[in-house]
Amino acid sequence: MKKYVFFLCCSFSMQLYAQTQEVHFLDKRGDKKIDVVVGGRYFSSFIFPSSLEKPVLYPIQAANGAVVTRGFPLDKRDGERTDHPHHVGLWFNYESVNGLDFWNNSYNIPVEKKSKYGWIRNVKVLELSKGKSAGKLVYTANWEKQDGTVLLVEKTELVFSGTENSRTIDRYTTLTAQRDTVHFNDVKDGLLGIRVTKELELPSDKTEKFSDSQGNVTEVSPTKNGANGDYLTSAGKRGNEAWGTRGNWCLLYGVKDRVPVSIAMIDHPKNPGYPTYWHARDYGLFAANPLGQKVFSEGKQELRMHLAPGASATFRYRVKISSGTEPTAVSLNAEAADFARK
């Protein structure tokens, strides 16, 4: 048994570190974007235009070139849903920060209601470091009220890496309260989210309605677009049973253009609220929310995080996109163990 475990660990290490590819960046700060290139192929762009209410990674491609993020609202594609215009690429924000909704803010919010929503803006790219096995992008941004009052200063380090069949993003985000104590109310919509391509949605035959914190309702129609995705969590939950459950990782997998593709999110033991709850919807929203425990536990647990002026909280996540092969629970457990040592 010990020999088997040793072989398994060595095998995973070889997969994790062998054939790592060079990472470099195309600096287009004048256009409010930084392109990420892995192994000579486009991976994603860090974009922060004033027309968006938050900085995001968009679009995101697997190693084989398959796009794993939804196009809408920046690029409409045939057969894609056009609900929830605030779901753009891969992002990090929260529904209730001192009563302001950062998660649901978008161009779709009427001007007379904008004061109830927050922005993440004034992005400054501090570092771009290319490398033979990884590349790093560091930026700061302000979580602001509509009048420009800064509630939180965010500092984020994004570490990109890849192999022939995978792309990985390690995200380290520190939020520091400024003049006022900052309260993160225990709510549903947060914290790290990605909106995926139509193929990774779960098949669905029902119409659903979702309300944001201000009572705005969005209707989601049944799936008729080739959706074939499924979820699997570290606790063994599958499909829609993954939503509202805890685990240190969650995998969303399916087939696109006849090739297996998947996205895994991995939590870190040092994160607040670990292990996270999975806000994993069948219509293509895939998110980790460690701060909204009351709704997921049906009132059995609650976490109201507060940051006094000058205090900070750090969140660490790994996002791994695979193509050509489907990760197993064994490999993801090993990946989570590796990330926990970071």
Q: How far apart are CA 99 and CA 104, in angstroms?
A: 13
The domain of 189 spans: 2-340
Say yes or no to pLDDT of 10 above 70: no
Residues 18-32, mean pLDDT to the nearest whole number? 94
The number of domains in the chain is 1
Mean pLDDT for the chain overall? 92
> If you ran DSSP here, which 8-state letter would residue 201 be given?
S
User: CB within 8 A of 337, min separation 6: which ones?
Assistant: none
Q: How far apart are CA 229 and CA 246, in angstroms?
A: 20
pLDDT band at 78 (very low <50, low <70, confident <90, very high): confident
3-state secondary structure of 339: helix
Cα dihedral 287, 292, 296, 302, rounded to 10, equals: 160
pLDDT tens, position by position, 144-198: 999 999 999 999 999 999 999 999 999 999 999 999 999 999 999 999 999 999 9
The rounded percent of the chain whose pLDDT value lies above 70 is 91
Say yes or no to pLDDT of 17 above 60: no
CB 317 within 8 A of CB 288: yes
Regarding predicted confidence, which is higher, 218 or 184?
184
> What SS3 string covers 12-69?
HHHHHHCCCCCEEEEEEHHHCEEEEEECCEEEEEEECCCCCCCCEEEEEECCCCCECE
Say yes or no to pLDDT of 6 above 70: no
Write the CATH number for 102: 2.70.98
Say yes or no to pLDDT of 31 above 60: yes
